[in-house]
Amino acid sequence: MDGTIVAIWMLRLLFLAGLYAFLWAVVRVLLRDLRAAALEPGAELGRLLVLESPGGEPEVGAGFSLDAVTTLGRDVNATILLDDEFVSTMHAALTYRGRVWYLEDLGSTNGSFVNGSPVEGTAPLAFGDELQFGNVRLRLERPRR
């Protein structure tokens, strides 16, 4: 009888210990993920992903890490150069103010579009929005972590 009871106590404690062993294993995975995330490039404010670019510059699939003010246009002095005949020399600017990205059209000939709608002056953006300048389509994405 006593042997049985000792055995049952062992099983009970083993079960509880197993529960914590699982949690410990999970925490190890979580910590490893955290360390891996810390190794990745850090504090960017957002990303632009090139979805369509018939001119080949920028390349489709390329990603740009964005800082607080980013200009886009055909001018070589633009932060991001868009080589497209329908894009003006200084076409538009992306600015990060407060917690929000804004798109400002800098008086371009053919206009700037957010999710297909033309932008007049300045428009707030959300991550995931699709921007179009001339034939170039870009998507604003959340910064990587």
Partner 1 sequence: MTRPDGGRGGTARGSAPRTGPRHPGIGATVGRVALALALAFGGLAAGAGYWQVIRSADLSSSPDDAAVIAASRRVARGDITDRDGVRLAWSVLDSNGEPYRKYSSRSISGVIGYASRAFGSAGLERSYDAQLTGVAAADPVQDLVRKFRTEPSDPQAIRTTLAAELQQAAVAALGSDRGAVVMLDPRTGEVLVLASTPIFDASAIADPQTSTATFAALQADADLPLLPRATQGRYVPGSVFKIVTAIAALGSGAVTAATTFPEQPGAEKAGLLVGGYRVRDGHHPATGSTALDLIGATEVSCNIWYALAGLQTGGDALASWAAKLGFGEPIPFDIRTATSQVTNGGGTFGGGFSDAVELANASYGQAETVVTPLQMALVASTIANNGILMRPHLVQAFIGKAGTVSVNPEVWRRVLPADLAGEIAAAMKQAVEGRLGRQFTTGARVSGMTVAGKSGTAELGGTGEPNSWFIGFAPADDPQIAIAVIVEQGGRGAERAAPIAGKLLAVWRSWAGR
Partner 2 sequence: MTGSQPTGVPRGAGLRLPRPRFRPRELGLLAIVATVLAVGSASLAATRALRGEADPAASAGFLADGSGLLSFIGGLLAAHVLLVLSGRRTDQVLLPTVGMLGGISLLLMERLPQSLAGGLGLGRTQLVWLLASVALVGVIGAVVRSDAWLRLYKYSWAAVGVGILLVTFVFGHDVNGQRLTLSVGPVSGQPSELIKILLVVFLAGYLSENRPLLIEESSRVGPLRLPPIPYLAPMIAMWAIALSIVVVQKDLGAALLFFAVFLLLLYIATARVSFVVIGIMALLLGGAFLYQLLPHVRVRVDIWLDPFATASGNGYQVVQALHAFARGGLLGTGLGGGLPTIGGVLPIPALHTDFPFAALGEELGLVGILGILGLYLVVIERGLRIAASAADDFRAILAAGLSLVIGVQAFIIAAGNLKLIPLTGITLPFISYGGSSLLASGVIVGLLIALSDRGRDLPAVAESGPGRVQRMPEHGAR
Question: What separation in angstroms does the CA of 91 have from each of 18, 44, 67, 68, 100?
Answer: 61, 23, 17, 17, 20
Instruction: Kindly state the number of chain residues that form the binding site for partner 2, as judged by CB under 8 A.
Output: 43
Binding of partner 1 at residue 50 (CB under 8 A)? Answer: yes
Closer to partner 2 by Cβ: residue 46 or 88: 46
Closest CA to 48 of 38, 39, 56, 58: 58
Given partner 1, partner 2, none, residue 80, with its beta carbon under 5 to 8 Å by kind, binds partner 1
Q: Where in 72-91 is the site for partner 1 (CB under 8 A)?
A: 76-81
Binding of partner 2 at residue 19 (CB under 8 A)? Answer: yes
Tokens for 71, please give them: 């200009």
CA angle at residue 36 from 139 to 30, to 5 degrees?
A: 105
Please give the residue ranges that form the binding site for partner 1 (CB under 8 A).
Answer: 5, 8-9, 41, 44, 50, 58-59, 62-70, 76-81, 95-99, 142, 145
